Structure 1
Amino acid sequence: MRNTFDFTPLFRSGIGFDRMLNALEAASRVETVDNWPPYDIAKKGEDDYRITMAVAGFSQDELDITQEHNMLMVSGQKPAEDNAEYLHHGIAERAFRRRFELADHVKVVNASLVNGLLTIDLKREIPEEMKPRRIEIGSVKAKPKAEAKQIEADNQAA
């Protein structure tokens, strides 16, 4: 049995939240879970994050990191296998593709491969025009009331 949620009522009353609602809808569609290669996601500061992936056996040339809009894609591909006959093959060197959905304004700032661990540093950089700003409240000086002018009529008798 699969539970699905209908976000249609929220689309009618929310403005600008369509991307978030689409992400919730996509998350509700559970795909087959592939847990290889293992990875960690850590929050290093208020706007700093780090993804660490265990990619033992892969070199820098065999890994590819791509960021397109709000999607980070990490993939690995080994070259053609040698023709050795394995008695036991326990080292996972299969190709992989791992996707990470990024929030708005999150950018990759660094990636490194050390001792079989691929480390990707991320930073959320909100543009100045998007940051909250204080609005000064001005006052309008009241204009002095105009004195009522009285129209005088000549009292001339005919």
Structure 2
Amino acid sequence: MSRVSLFSAPFVLGFEAFEERFDRLSRATEGYPPYNIERTGPQNGGETYLISIAVAGFARNDLEVIAEDNQLIVRGRQTDDGARDYLHRGIAARQFQRTFLLADGMRVEGADLENGLLVVTVHRPQAEPVTRRIEIRPVE
């Protein structure tokens, strides 16, 4: 059975890679760690977004933030300390990967870790309208 997609419409060209990324993101819908996305309003002719991810228990060296192919990838890796003798273990040492799809032109400005929250700042500059006239060549 063939799959019908919004991106398979005949007037939508060149979005195959975007559709592949979108499919990959939709399969990775784990709820850990929780996060917020906040728009902070117009700044510098564009918009700025703050992505706050709850990463309590993770140190700066346990976290990795990567901007790659219009994606923001946040990874956390904790190692189990075998030297500790737990009477009760309710906080697991676990790892995660959280991926966000970014529109063309968006820039990851930086990341801050404070009070158990990793805050990644993403800026979308104001898009300049692009119009150009296409010459119609004569057939020879």
Q: TM-score range by the shorter chain?
A: 0.7 to 0.9
User: What is the distance in 2 between the residues matched to 1:133 and 1:37?
Assistant: 39
Greater gyration radius: 1
- State the partner residue of 2:118: 118
Does residue 1:132 correspond to 2:129, yes or no? yes
Question: Between Structure 1 and Structure 2, which shows a larger proportion of strand residues?
Answer: 2
Is 1:34 the counterpart of 2:27? The answer is no
By relative contact order (CA 8 Å, sep 6+), the higher-ranking structure is 2
Give structure 2 stretches of 5+ with no counterpart. 133-140
Q: Distance between the aligned counterparts of 1:18 and 1:99, measured in 2?
A: 19
The whole-number CA distance in structure 2 between the counterparts of 1:123 and 1:21 is: 23
The answer on 1:7 being equivalent to 2:13 is no
Query: Structure 2 CA distance, aligned partners of 1:9 and 1:118?
Result: 33
1:70 partnered with 2:70: yes
Aligned-residue Cα RMSD (Å) equals 2.9
Q: 1:125 to 1:64 in 2, by over 3 A?
A: same
Match of 2:107 in 1: 107
Change (3 A) 1:69 1:20: closer
- C-alpha separation between the residues in 1 aligned to 2:61 and 2:7? 48
Q: Using a 3 Å threshold, how does the CA distance of structure 1 residues 14 and 33 change in structure 2: closer, same or farther?
A: closer
Secondary structure at the aligned position of 1:112 is classed as strand
Instruction: Give the structure 2 partner of residue 153 of structure 1.
Output: none
CA contact (8 A) 2:7 2:19 kept: no
Q: 1:14 to 1:104 in 2, by over 3 A?
A: same
TM-score (norm 2): 0.74
TM-score normalised by length of structure 1: 0.66
Gaps of 5+ in 1: 136-158
